Homo-oligomer: A and B are copies of this chain.
Amino acid sequence: MLEADFKYIIDTFFTLFAMVLIIFMVPGFAMLEAGLVRTKNVAAVLTMNVMIYAVASLAFLLIGYEIAFGGWESDTQSIWAAFMFQMAFVGKTVNIMSGGVSERVRIIPLAIFTAIMGSIIYPLVVNVTWGADMLAGTMLDIDMYDLAGSTVIHSTGGWALLAAILIIGSRKGRYQDGKIRVIPASNIPLVVLGALLLWIGWFGFNGGSVGSISSVENANLVAKTIMNTNTAGLAGAFIAGIIMYFRYKLLDITMILNGALGGLVAVTAGPDLYDMYTPILIGLIGGALVVFAVPLFDKLKIDDPVGALSVHLINGIWGTLAVGIFIDDISFLAQLKGVVLIGVFVFSVSFIILYSINKISKYRASDDEQLEGMDVSECGLEAYPEFKRVI
């Protein structure tokens, strides 16, 4: 057998393996968000998650992939595997965004934005980073290192979310009389299940982004990437627990998990480049950032029920810059330029599109709909119809 054939076969198999892990993030996000919102909004949140997978993926299949990569070709592995791997990423950017506007967003206008995100906005971001690179040679050429998307995925989703929150506003009653009303997560087991599925999906996300496992060098790189990814998650969970304990003598599991996710986001830009100890530091900082960012956004009355801005935007930025800090060959300024350019582009384009859609079909559910819960108005059913509710 030709060595090239061997590599083609192994890398196709490996990409499919990595892709499947990423698809576990679909139930991962769904369960995480369903657990974090109130019972009256659970079915709507779940419907959003399934809608996002369907719409974003179809949009990427029909339009987005070609914009991102300039054509359907692949020499080193099956193009169909390469597509599936990339497709598995698309919905994530919208997932990040939709979680943060849950409990008041209507699904149909969100579906329209999802289609635009999956077919145009995200593909353009990929084009200028991992893809065909239409900015190559121009002043705006982005030369940052971002293995698996601290910026391309996570802060992209985060910026779109920030734009969405500014347009849609906070949940009815969340900031009232100068106080912040605490709204507890309704189903902690689902939160834990969802976060752990995301964690597992991250192995595929980052490991698969190495792109090949079919040489000794790449096999080591893939394994180190997965190990470092995991380590940052561990450290993020650890520090969030430590901070919560020393502050409140209480271990808030939702914060611990968001700390883990923060660490995972932060390491995502360069898990292949770090030695085995650096991800501990990156994860510790990432987890701590989440713990401090969550109340900060609340002070700014930026209402984000699932902590997505703290996890994905803040740590997407931190993680991308971290590569420039910890790796000698990587320019900090190039990283910063990438963060800023992508940020400006995604935020402004998302804002304009969200704003325009909002003129035609309001994103924000009425106060009455929010009071009754989005499940009834959006889905015509309840998530747990038989359980008597306290509230």
Taking CB atoms and an 8 Å cut-off, the chain A residues in 1-34 that contact chain B are: 1, 3, 5-6, 8-10, 12-17, 19-21, 23-24, 26-27, 30-31, 34
Q: Find A224's partner among B78, B188, B222, B234 (CB 8 Å cutoff).
A: B78
Do B193 and A383 touch across chains, with their CB atoms under 8 A apart? no
- Report the minimal beta-carbon distance from A390 to chain B, rounded to whole angstroms: 5
- The residue that A51 contacts in the complex, of B42, B54, B241, with Cβ under 8 A, is B241
A63 within 8 A of B: no
| Known A51-B251, A234-B54; contact A193-B379, beta-carbon cutoff 8 A | no
| Nearest chain B CB to A75 CB, angstrom units | 11
Among A96-104, A179-187, A300-308, A337-345, the stretch in contact with B = A179-187
Question: Interface size bucket, A side?
Answer: 35 or more
Within 8 A of B (CB), among A101-148: 107-108
Interface residue? A290 (CB, 8 A):
no
| Stretch of A207-215, A309-317, A327-335, A362-370 that contacts chain B | A207-215
A84 part of interface (Cβ distance < 8 Å): yes
A234 pairs with B53, CB closer than 8 A: yes
> How far apart sit A177 and B138, CA to CA, in the bound complex (Å)?
74
Identify the stretch in A152-160, A166-174, A196-204, A352-360 within 8 Å (CB) of chain B at 4 or more residues. Answer: A196-204
Inter-chain CA distance A134–B15, complex, in Å, is: 39
Residue of B nearest to A380 (CB): B250
Q: Decide if A245 is an interface residue (CB 8 Å cutoff).
A: yes
Q: Within A247-267, which residues are at the interface with B (CB < 8 Å)? A: 248, 250-254, 256-257, 260
Contacts of A192 in B (CB 8 A): 27, 30-31, 34, 46, 49-50
CB of A68 within 8 Å of the partner chain:
no
A380 touching B252 in the complex, CB below 8 Å, given contacts A46-B188, A58-B234, A200-B20: yes
Chain B residue at smallest Cβ distance from A214 = B9
A366 CA to B188 CA, complexed, in Å? 24
Q: Is the CB of A216 within 8 A of B250?
A: no
Give A90 to B186 CA distance when docked, in angstroms: 31
Quick check: B14 and A253 within 8 Å, CB to CB?
no
Partner of A24, one of B13, B31, B200, B237: B200
- A219 touches B (CB below 8 Å): yes
| Contacting residues, chain B, for A214 (C-beta < 8 A) | 9
Are B57 and A383 within 8 A (Cβ)?
no
Residues of A within 8 A of B (CB): 1, 3, 5-6, 8-10, 12-17, 19-21, 23-24, 26-27, 30-31, 34-35, 38-39, 42-43, 46-47, 49-51, 53-55, 57-58, 61, 77-81, 83-84, 87, 107-108, 184-190, 192-193, 196-197, 199-200, 203, 207, 213-216, 219-220, 222-224, 226-227, 230-231, 234-235, 237-238, 241, 245, 248, 250-254, 256-257, 260, 276, 280, 378-391
Q: Could you show 17 A-B contacts with beta carbons less than 8 Å apart?
A: A1-B3, A9-B213, A13-B222, A17-B17, A20-B21, A23-B199, A34-B189, A43-B188, A78-B223, A80-B227, A81-B219, A83-B227, A184-B381, A193-B193, A384-B387, A386-B391, A388-B389
- Please name the 3 residue pairs, one residue from A and one from B, whose CB atoms are nearest each other, closest first: A250-B380, A80-B223, A78-B223
